Amino acid sequence: MSNHSRLAHLFALGSAALAVLLASGCTTPFRPPADLAHVRLHGVDSPVVRIEKIWLERRNDQLAVRGYVIKRLEATDTTRTHLDVTLYDAGGRVLRTSRETFSPKQIVRRHRRPDYASYRVVLDPLPQGVARIEVRVDETGHP
């Protein structure tokens, strides 16, 4: 078999495998628990750090919002950065807000990999009527 034929064969197999995964609906581990599928997740970036991913998960009967943040290329210090996590109802009223951190606090360069950190914020007990969860990156102090 020639190199061209091998590449064409591998491409066809890879395409078929991808089509099966997409059709099965199992392409993401980031699906929310079924009872919270209506809750919208929203991230707000800052000049230093941006939200990369947000998802809800329930593990060991504990509900949490999780995700990753990425340091911007021009940023040097992330130690003063935190996350404001706010839960809203359908009318936009604040149900709860908390100040959270990500780990590691100083996001460092990892060779060629992105400069990232992760966060996990426990939401239990979840207030009744939550329709939206906002994770906002913030460098300012709060009173």
- Give the span between the Cα atoms of 133 and 130, in whole angstroms: 8
Q: What integer is the mean pLDDT of 63-90?
A: 94
143 — pLDDT class (breaks 50, 70, 90): low
State pTM to two decimals: 0.76
Mean pLDDT lowest among 32-36, 79-83, 97-101, 107-111:
107-111
Measured CA distances, 26 to 19, 31, 53, 59 (Å): 11, 9, 18, 19
129 — pLDDT class (breaks 50, 70, 90): very high
3.30.1330, 1.20.81, 2.60.40, 3.30.2310: which CATH number matches 34-138? 2.60.40
Average pLDDT, the chain: 83
Mean pLDDT lowest among 7-11, 81-85, 100-104:
7-11
Pick 127 or 108 by higher pLDDT: 127
